[in-house]
Amino acid sequence: MREYVLTAAYEPGADALADVFIDHPDLLGTALTVTVSSAGVWRVDRLVGPPDALDAVEAVYTDHAVCNECLGEHEACTVTAEYEVVREGPESRVIYGYSDGGRYCHSVPFHAGRAFGDGVSFDARRRGNVYEWRVLVPGDPPIGDLFDGLRDGLPEGITLSLSQVGTPSSWGTPTASLSDLAPEQRRALETAVAMGYYETPRAADLGDVAEELGLAKSTLRYRLRRAEAWLTETVVADHDLLGAGSATAVD
């Protein structure tokens, strides 16, 4: 097996769906499942963020005139699609989508299916101006056809890079998803990690992180403790150390 990581970076105005993520930096989209065949593409996505961001992304995501998977808009794109919100919460949406096997345009799943055939697995994540795909392919096929096909005719304002090629890294490993955290806890944890709060020795202290987020230290400390408690319980539960039951996100 080989793992390829493809990353698309969007400039504002290059793609309708990407613009929503750019306008709402707290919005996070992760693919729960992606299935590709000659008949089409099926996928389920989980979107997490503030209510206004979720309303904005749902409006674009479920617009049949928009090709959600296209790397930019293409007039030649002829796709019949259907979408349904299958679960809705105050800070999350789970959306099912199906696109037929017509000309599925300039997309990673279409080109990957054409280049590698059946047996390809996908993982995908959107945040800000970045859309990242991890593609797991049987055997050891060349990446050239896929990458060249995706870059050929790439619209202005979108850049594509191959950020990693190698053996599979973390597929099948039980992991906690930060998208399950409340947005304010996720922001606190991610900022603390990015600033080196958890390094040894620490590159930033609690006050530094609180200042970066514009929070009181007591507020930040509470959010980090809640996030850390959820993360610890979830990881332990994933490894069956707590017996029956499952962990849930804290409020």
Residue 184, token pair as written in the block: 């304010």
pTM of the predicted protein model? 0.71
Q: Of 138, 166, 194, which residue sits at a domain end?
A: 166
Based on the domain organization, do 139 and 216 belong to the same domain?
Answer: no
Based on the domain organization, do 187 and 112 belong to the same domain?
Answer: no
In a domain, 144, yes or no: yes
Q: Of 139, 166, 193, which residue sits at a domain end?
A: 166
Based on the domain organization, do 96 and 60 belong to the same domain?
Answer: yes
**Total domains, the chain:** 2
In a domain, 61, yes or no: yes
Prior bond to 174 cis, omega within 30?
Answer: no
**CATH classification of the domain holding 216:** 1.10.10
Based on the domain organization, do 156 and 201 belong to the same domain?
Answer: no
In a domain, 172, yes or no: no
Quick one: how far is CA 90 from the chain centroid?
19
Q: Of 134, 166, 198, which residue sits at a domain end?
A: 166
Based on the domain organization, do 118 and 219 belong to the same domain?
Answer: no
Based on the domain organization, do 161 and 182 belong to the same domain?
Answer: no
CA distance 225 to 64: 42
In a domain, 24, yes or no: yes
In a domain, 43, yes or no: yes
In a domain, 173, yes or no: no
In a domain, 171, yes or no: no
In a domain, 190, yes or no: yes
CA atoms within 13 A on the CB side of 9: 5
Based on the domain organization, do 226 and 125 belong to the same domain?
Answer: no
Based on the domain organization, do 68 and 189 belong to the same domain?
Answer: no
Q: Mean pLDDT of residues grouped by 10 in the chain (251 residues)?
A: 88 92 93 78 88 93 79 62 84 85 68 77 91 84 78 86 74 58 85 89 93 94 88 58 38 41
How many other CB atoms are there within 10 angstroms of residue 224's CB atom?
20
Based on the domain organization, do 149 and 197 belong to the same domain?
Answer: no
Range of the domain at 89: 2-166
Residue 21, token pair as written in the block: 């993520």
Based on the domain organization, do 125 and 215 belong to the same domain?
Answer: no
CA distance 184 to 219: 10
Based on the domain organization, do 74 and 104 belong to the same domain?
Answer: yes
Based on the domain organization, do 128 and 7 belong to the same domain?
Answer: yes
